[in-house]
Amino acid sequence: MIRGKIAFASGMLVALAGGWLAFPRILYQTRLQPVDFSHKVHAEKAGAKCEDCHSFRDDGTYAGIPTLDKCSGCHAAAMGTTAAEKTFIDQYVTPNREPQWLSYARQPENVYFSHVSHVKLGQVKCERCHGNEGGTGALRPYQQDPISGYSRDIWGRPVNRIGLRTEGGMKMDDCVNCHRRQGLEYSCMGCHK
Amino acid sequence: MSIDIDKCNGCGACMVACAVENNIPPAPEAANDRKGITWIRVYKVDNHRAYPERRTAFVPVLCQQCGHDTPCAHVCPQQAVDVDPATGIVGQMPERCLGCRYCMVACPYHARYFNWWDPKWPAGMEKTLNPDVAPRMRGVVEKCNFCHGRWHAAQQKAAAAGKREIDAADYVPACVEACPTGALRFGDLNDASTEVAHDAQRPESFRLLEKLGTEPKIHYRSQRDWVREIASAPRPEGKDGLRG
Amino acid sequence: MTTTRRNLFKFVGGGAAGALLTPAPWRLITDAALWSENWPGIPRPARGEIRARFTHCTLCPAGCAVRARCVNGQPVSLAGVKPHPIGHGALCPWGIAGHHLPYHPARVRQGPVKEAVAAVARAIAQRGAGERVAVLDLRPGRTVSWTYRRAMAAIENGLYLTPGQPAYSIDLAAAKTVVSFGAPLLDGWGTPGNVFAARDHFRLIQIEPVETRTAALADMWLPIRPGTESVLAAALAGETTIAEAARVTGVEEEAVGAVQEAAQSGSAVVLAADPGSPLMSLNAKFGALGRTVVARRESPLPDAWKKAAPVAEMAAAPDGAIRVLLIDESLPGGYVPWSTIEPKLAANAIVVVFSSTSEGYARHAQYVLPAPVYPEAAEDIGPAIDTVAEVFRIAAPLVAPVVPVVKPGEFVAQMAGLPQGDPLRERADAIHKTGRGALLSYADGKSTPAKEVTADDFWKTLNQSGCWMDETGKKAAPSGLGRSVTRLTSHDELPLAVVVAEFNRGGLASPLMSKLERESNLRMAANRVVLSPADARANGIESGGRCLLETACGRMNVVATIDAGVPSGVVEVAGGPRMADLCGASRRARVVRA
């Protein structure tokens, strides 16, 4: 009988260990960004601010991750000596090929998020939701959930979402919680399309 | 919205413009007028006389955005229908819908459409899809939402200028913009200075199935008596004992 | 003790219980739901910068100004340009989805270009005496039409043919009464925006056998017996009594009298379904010439182009004389029934058609060469039937051709050995040189006199966002009204009169037209006919039943609808090339069960 209890308990232990320790590690697959881009270099050496590349257009839409023409504007020829820049120019600028950047914050197709409403009207800073990307020397590895196809940033780093601050995730609950905290009226179609 | 039935010539520009704006696919082989998706549909109605006393009129019908006891919102088990308190627009959330089609039964205007098939566009035509509207997969219900993509765009434009209120000229649904005769008009019914508010007050204005008490927001008008008769859906002859 | 199976089950049970206390199964359920939402095959619209680009619609002679909403340069939706003095910001259902045409699944994608070039060259060289080379231009009045005329003047025995382009324009704004003999004024006539802008200022009297869209919205509809329009016209002209007209046409005497009174009250215009119809000569009787019916004005030309072949009507060409026939069907336009063309062809004639659809002349031609579709090619729009001012409008391309295409103008110019050049640029320069008129820019709605703009800016604005207009100049009376040569043969043994109730221009239409034809019953598809209950009963036809429409020229598979609004003795059909081939030469038919 005690054997039985041990069997049960050991099964439970294995499952708990697997679920809490192993699962988060194996759930995500890591992919590399196409170019080894350094925000820090551009902020310091080029004196660029966030809005220089991640800008708003006249109609309020957000340019998001800049397209190749933004980069080619300066990098038509090598501006530094790094191998990463050389690779970039050879593989993307010269053949005029768009780098397939992996977007950490990519939402499902049916989500409508207006950057300009949050940045201009809501006075929300970029770092609040995206973290301090601008100060990093290299882009963080892109961790993707292979089943759903979304980045880890959407769910939030902890798999169980315990201890996650609102801005640490980008699921609908996180948006709704922040809107509630700010006392803003919201409707389904305000954020869906 | 206000619709002048005496101006509508049944051209169908509104139907095509709606499909272009909202990424509605062309009909698959098996589709007919019961299984097609036409968020706005122009019905041909007539005075039930034979030639030469036949007279025809064209009535565009879209989601009436019911304001009171919205039937579809009432019955949805998934809460996939949401009545926006600010605009009064009834929003349908296809991503939440499980496809039970209870709302289609509840809608008295037959203004809701089910995706019987996955959307399929001819090769290359998917390049012409509108990025402001998400395509839906099969198994969910969809309907007119007064071109919410355009409302979002108007909001973005206002936010870029630091304003919270949109400019009414920036928000025109695709059907209203497309109508070549000017039969469709759109605006804020609560704003007494708008054309739609005036149209709603005209003596020849009516709404579809008003006796149901759904308080629809589409105001139709026609000078022709027989058109107004049809829109009030009189009880068929000989069926006086029926309830409702 | 040994490990029993029960222990194994307990182990598994403990594992299951433990698993439920971990995030794993709950996360996997959520992921499975998300995975099921990202169904493969549901396309994701491309994102990018959204800009407006301008062009003109080439799907019909109205040439309405178009503002295209483009994502990364790709048009995703089209709308009219407001305000606009001609188009008034309106587009029709075909124009609204015109940007789909390059991707149409039924588009002609390839053709034997080299063989066609060789065959044409051979045939031209080996012609017999008196054998002609002809170009049939289905959309005359464009700049490329002048290229064809110059080419046919450069080739010996060259013929430039059209379906019959009447040289008049209708000034709707000046009309107080419009008497329309079946012209689809409110659905497929002229420029929609212009018609509806003027609608409140004129009284519309529609005379036709069935209640079309135009008749439904007209101020007065006269249900006339099919084929008796000329008798009613005679009564209106005073050449026969009202009583006689009422007897023959079936229209009440009061109605005929009312029309006569309205037409004689001044500022009237008479329209006909066929713009070249003899009924148009009624306009002379009502003093409309020079007022509401004016001479068509074309924008200025380079002087070098004056050496061009004259315009001839297809029906007037000599029989059996055409050795090489090139048909420009690249833009939807008029259609000459094949039975009218065939007798004009020589025994070993070569027929080349430039088209994007296989529904038109492709059925009859030996060589079908793929033409560009709207909005792929630079074209210009000739004046529409209701354009009174002189205009020059360029339809600038919005996308590159999706399939390898042959531009008919270039083909013909090369064939005739014309010097290479850009005819549109030459014409724009010639217009600019005259110093007349104004350049209207769509982006800002401003109008600038042409002489205040440089030739380069003039060309740039015409190509990017504008048009040239000259509204000055007196209205002149047109000549040659109502002298069309088309002859209809009668086949009275066929019981039903054919009436075209659904205007169908032919050519490709966006697959989204299924909304109007299949997913609703708003418009008749090309293979639909409508019968009265009496005629349906007489032929054993059920609603939705498959039938054969038979005429003296052939037969076609159709689907029948039954409607008590259709008079007996009439079959309503939708237009289009197939129907024109069947019913163009004779408007009588029979419908039998298939």
Whether residues C518 and B121 touch (CB distance < 8 A) is answered with: no
**One domain, residues C275 and C311:** no
- d(CA B151, CA B84) in angstroms, rounded, equals 13
Contacts by B167-171 with C-beta closer than 8 Å and gap 24+?
Answer: B168/B194
User: Residue C521 is part of which domain span?
Assistant: 496-593
Distance from CA of A192 to the nearest CA of B (A): 8
Q: Note whether C70 and C489 are within 8 A (CB).
A: no
Distance from CA of B163 to the nearest CA of C (A): 21
**One domain, residues C152 and C14:** no
Nearest residue, CB atoms, C565 vs list B51, B130, B182: B51
pLDDT score recorded for residue B181: 95
- d(CA C192, CA C66) in angstroms, rounded, equals 13
The answer to whether residue B242 sits within a structural domain is no
Nearest residue, CB atoms, C21 vs list A16, A63, A148: A16
The answer to whether residue B87 sits within a structural domain is yes
Per-run averaged pLDDT (10 residues), chain A, 193 residues: 82 89 87 88 81 85 87 84 87 89 90 92 87 83 89 84 78 89 87 90
**One domain, residues C183 and C147:** no
Nearest residue, CB atoms, B122 vs list C105, C213, C223: C105
Single-letter amino acid code for the residue at A136: T
- d(CA B171, CA B150) in angstroms, rounded, equals 6
Contacts B84 to A, Cβ<8 Å: 187-190
**One domain, residues C174 and C321:** no
- CA-based Rg of chain A, rounded to a whole angstrom? 21
How are the residues of chain A apportioned to helix, strand and coil, as percentages rounded to the nearest 5?
45, 5, 45
ipTM at complex level: 0.93
- d(CA A63, CA C48) in angstroms, rounded, equals 7
CATH number of the CATH domain containing C503? 2.40.40.20
Mean of per-residue pLDDT scores for chain B:
93
Whether residues B159 and A109 touch (CB distance < 8 A) is answered with: no
Instruction: Give the pLDDT confidence of C533-568 residue by residue, as tens digits.
Output: 999 999 999 999 999 999 988 999 999 999 999 999
Instruction: Give the pLDDT confidence of C162-219 residue by residue, as tens digits.
Output: 987 778 999 999 999 999 999 999 998 999 999 999 999 999 999 999 999 999 999 9
Total domains present in chain C = 4
Q: Is residue C485's pLDDT more than 60?
A: no
pLDDT score recorded for residue B239: 64
pLDDT score recorded for residue A184: 87
**One domain, residues C445 and C358:** yes
Total domains present in chain B = 1
Q: Is residue C591's pLDDT more than 80?
A: yes
Give me the percent of chain C exceeding a pLDDT of 90: 72
User: Which pTM value belongs to this model?
Assistant: 0.94
Residue by residue, DSSP assigns C335-364 as ---HHHHGGGEEEEEEEEEEES-SSSGGGT
User: Residue B81 is part of which domain span?
Assistant: 2-231
**One domain, residues C161 and C177:** no
Confidence of residue C334 (pLDDT cuts 50, 70, 90): confident
Peptide bond before B108: cis, by omega within 30 degrees of 0? no
**One domain, residues C503 and C431:** no
CATH number of the CATH domain containing B37? 3.30.70.20
Q: Note whether C505 and C575 are within 8 A (CB).
A: yes
pLDDT score recorded for residue A130: 85
Whether residues C211 and B19 touch (CB distance < 8 A) is answered with: no
**One domain, residues C147 and C178:** no
The answer to whether residue C94 sits within a structural domain is no
The answer to whether residue B239 sits within a structural domain is no
**One domain, residues C463 and C546:** no
What's the mean pLDDT in C467-494? 79
The answer to whether residue C124 sits within a structural domain is yes
Which residue in the block uniquely carries the two structure tokens 């012609």?
A: C127
**One domain, residues C185 and C288:** yes
CATH number of the CATH domain containing C237? 3.40.228.10
**One domain, residues C272 and C142:** no
Mean of per-residue pLDDT scores for chain C:
91
* Residue A112 touches partner C, C-beta closer than 8 Å: no
pLDDT score recorded for residue C412: 96
Confidence of residue C484 (pLDDT cuts 50, 70, 90): low
| DSSP label of A78 | -
* Residue A114 touches partner B, C-beta closer than 8 Å: yes
C386: which residues sit within 8 A by CB, 6+ positions away? C62, C169, C170, C171, C172, C189, C190, C191, C194, C195
Instruction: Give the pLDDT confidence of B172-218 residue by residue, as tens digits.
Output: 999 999 999 999 999 999 999 999 999 999 999 999 998 899 999 99
**One domain, residues C465 and C566:** no
The answer to whether residue B237 sits within a structural domain is no
The answer to whether residue C74 sits within a structural domain is no
pLDDT score recorded for residue C166: 74
The answer to whether residue B244 sits within a structural domain is no
What's the mean pLDDT in C360-364? 95
